[in-house]
Chain A
Amino acid sequence: MIPLRELDLAGVFLSPMVAYLLATTVFIGMMRLILRYSGAYRWIWHPALFDVSLFVIVLTALVVSKI
């Protein structure tokens, strides 16, 4: 689980948001792979809009679950 505090990277402090963003990117990357190979994108009107919406939903869910 990702803690809600600054990340210490060899003395450089990063916002916890960076970790959420990275985790969401990895998750969305895997989702996209699955969706692409299952052919689901054929049924989606605007794939880019779908991807962005999915990203926002997953990121929000992650952040909200920590607060």
Chain B
Amino acid sequence: MSWPSWRDSIFALRLLFGMVLGIWILMQMGMTSSSTLLITFLTVTQPLTGMLVSKGVYRICGTIVGAIAVFVVVSLFAQSRELYVLSISLWISVCVYVSILLRDAPIAYIPQLASYTSVIIGYGIVDDPGRYFDTASERVVEITLAVICTSVISALIFPGSVMPVLKQRMNQLLTATDSWAARALRHEGTGEPSLAERAKLIADAMELGGLRVHARFDVLSLRGSGDAVVRQLQGRIFSLLAILITLEERGRYLRLRYPTRWPAIKPGYEAVAAIMDPATEAGQSDGDAIGAAHRLIDRLQPSLEDIRRDDAAAIAFSLARQLQNVLSLRDECRRLRDFVVEGTRPRIMQSAPSDILYRDHMSAFMAAFAAFGAMVAVSALWIGTAWSSGFYAMLMLSVQFGLFSGIDQPAHLAQAFFRYGAVGVIAGILCAALLLPRVDGIVTLGLALATFILPCALLQPSPQAGKLTLILSTSFVTALNIGDRASLDLPAVLNLSVAYLAGMVFAQILFLVTRPLGSQWTTRRLLKGIKADLARLTGGGGFGRAQFEGRMFDRINGLFARLDQSSLDEHGLLQGAFASLRVGANVSLLRHRIDGLSPAAANAVNAVLAALDQHFRSTRRRDRGGRLVSDALSQASQVLRADGPDRHSIAALVALTSIDITLFYRPSFFGLGPVDDRPSTQTAAVPR
């Protein structure tokens, strides 16, 4: 871990200044409790203004949604405590469900906030529902005040705009893609290193989506149509990565399986690699070099007659087309990047997929069910034992279920939360006992807070320590529970702290009981989702190619985070996921070409799509021999070969050949049994 930079110091001072200012305004308004305000400061304040404002706005929205939900529950069930508790628990599970569906998107903060806001307001007034308006408005005011204070301070004092970060990430991503592509096209990197680089590129491209959302709150030019430009850039980068991965793998296949065909296409690979290589002079997107490469690749394309006769020629043809696509997509990516930087937009905008994240309803439902059970169980304990501070345990439980339900093993994080939370609480009690009695004004209060908050805030921007220091500092201010009171109420602070820690222990135990499945289960869900998406694509379920690619990359990103690349089986799964991407691309190509085919050929292609659809839809793990798919594919190839060599039938033939090779190259991943005379990972002498 590196030492905090001067920017981190400014961040820490800004945070502390904001907190003291917030408390001062709150005291001027005559409000007593300030822990909500301080926690909002701690969680919302970010080094970049855009991130801060987006988080702040979502926090306010989530609080208002939660407050409205409690209003409905109070109006309906204020007289019946059981129904009251049940309906709030149900509401929390709905919030957990929605937040898991939204996943990492910044907007998922709204349901997360709505879930525990309803506990804070709803359970806080369970004995006296008449206090609803006071409690709800106090919380909304504290949160809004904190968000406004911290936004204004961070916009005024050394503002950190998202735009330079977005610009830097875009440039880095494009350069990294170029240098990886240059090596991949020359077949320099093979196996794991290349796969690890791919993983990094995909993760960076996914991250661009998150930055885009934050940038909208900060950079005027990125609102409205500017936002679509970034979305489009992200989609183009995904397409570029997909094509490059195909070129790398299919090129290696051609080289090893049809060594005589490879030299014919190799100059094309080298020309594109030379253009993309950032180390060479030609890497500076030289227009002439690109034109020359296009002409060279045109000359390398096999004749249509060749393609009809020979599988290898069909592969070489598709590779030549893909090489040209790489050049045009790369150019397009650069142009879109320039538009984003200049804050303008292209005259003609193509549609960009707005929704590229996959959604897993089953996982969301299970997590929501677990949250419901946990809330009901601890509520029963609270009511049954008439525990006076039980509210704080409930609060902690709902915070943890609200925030951590989306991750694979929430119990681990809950454990870390308990450890760091305990340290924060002890520090808070010590500060309340030793320092608070000496506080006589806003300046000394700031100094007392600084003893613990300042070191934590210095580490908060660090990616490694950020989350843990946030747990430390939020636990600290909760235990401190600063109020506008003359004398310290130590028993109250102790009671609150014990309940707070008990809530953390409950959360950990309940996560262990209700969420024991871990990352293997998520991996299985991701793989199942890949099959389901392929089925949707083959079945023609209104699925654009860009959307498919985005979702697949999102899943592959999830798989990379969970699978061990050094294990042979898991490595195979990752490669299989990439292969699915290629199958999907070729299926959309087939769908696109089907209208231009002769009736007989169109029927044969439809039969292939139907066979694939049936295969991917089948819940059985293994289709017997994959015979149905294999037969349909060879039948369609024969029909297309018999047809005249027109543009559509050649394109369809190339797509069919690609699907055939990809599926039967990894038969176990696609649930196809081995079919005679076909090379697969098991039989062909092709390195991984």
- Give the B-binding residues of A (Cβ under 8 A): 12, 36, 46, 48-49, 52
B residues contacting the other copy or chain, number (CB 8 A): 7
B220 with A36: CB separation less than 8 A:
yes
Within B134-185, which residues are at the interface with A (CB < 8 Å)? Answer: 137, 152, 155-156, 159
> A48 CA to B133 CA in the complex, in Å?
34
B159 with A12: CB separation less than 8 A:
no
A48 with B155: CB separation less than 8 A:
yes
B133 with A12: CB separation less than 8 A:
yes
Report whether over half of chain A's contact residues are helix, strand or loop; otherwise say mixed: helix
- Give the A-binding residues of B (Cβ under 8 A): 133, 137, 152, 155-156, 159, 220
Query: Whose C-beta in chain A lies nearest to the C-beta of B29?
Result: A15
B220 with A52: CB separation less than 8 A:
no
B220 with A48: CB separation less than 8 A:
no
Q: Which residues of A contact B133 (CB under 8 A)?
A: 12
Query: Whose C-beta in chain B lies nearest to the C-beta of A14?
Result: B137
Total number of residue pairs linking A and B with CB closer than 8 Å = 12
Query: Whose C-beta in chain B lies nearest to the C-beta of A13?
Result: B133
A-B contacts, 9 of them at CB < 8 A, read A12-B133, A36-B220, A46-B156, A48-B152, A48-B156, A48-B159, A52-B152, A52-B155, A52-B156
For A12, A48, A49, which residue has the most chain B Cβ atoms within 10 angstroms?
A48
> A12 CA to B155 CA in the complex, in Å?
33
B220 with A49: CB separation less than 8 A:
no
Q: Which residues of B contact A36 (CB under 8 A)?
A: 220
Query: Whose C-beta in chain B lies nearest to the C-beta of A21?
Result: B148
Q: Which residues of A contact B159 (CB under 8 A)?
A: 48
Query: Whose C-beta in chain A lies nearest to the C-beta of B49?
Result: A48
Question: Nearest chain A CB to B146's CB is how many angstroms away?
Answer: 16
Query: Whose C-beta in chain B lies nearest to the C-beta of A55?
Result: B152
Q: Which residues of A contact B137 (CB under 8 A)?
A: 12
Query: Whose C-beta in chain A lies nearest to the C-beta of B151?
Result: A48
The 9 A-B pairs at the shortest CB distance, nearest first, are namely: A48-B155, A49-B156, A48-B156, A52-B152, A12-B133, A48-B159, A52-B156, A36-B220, A46-B156
Q: Which residues of B contact A12 (CB under 8 A)?
A: 133, 137
A36-B220, A49-B156 are known; give 5 further A-B pairs, CB within 8 A.
A12-B137, A48-B155, A48-B156, A48-B159, A52-B152
> A46 CA to B161 CA in the complex, in Å?
13
Q: Which residues of B contact A49 (CB under 8 A)?
A: 156
Question: Nearest chain B CB to A56's CB is how many angstroms away?
Answer: 10
> A61 CA to B152 CA in the complex, in Å?
20
> A52 CA to B159 CA in the complex, in Å?
14
Q: Which residues of B contact A46 (CB under 8 A)?
A: 156
Q: Which residues of A contact B220 (CB under 8 A)?
A: 36
Q: Which residues of A contact B152 (CB under 8 A)?
A: 48, 52
> A12 CA to B137 CA in the complex, in Å?
10
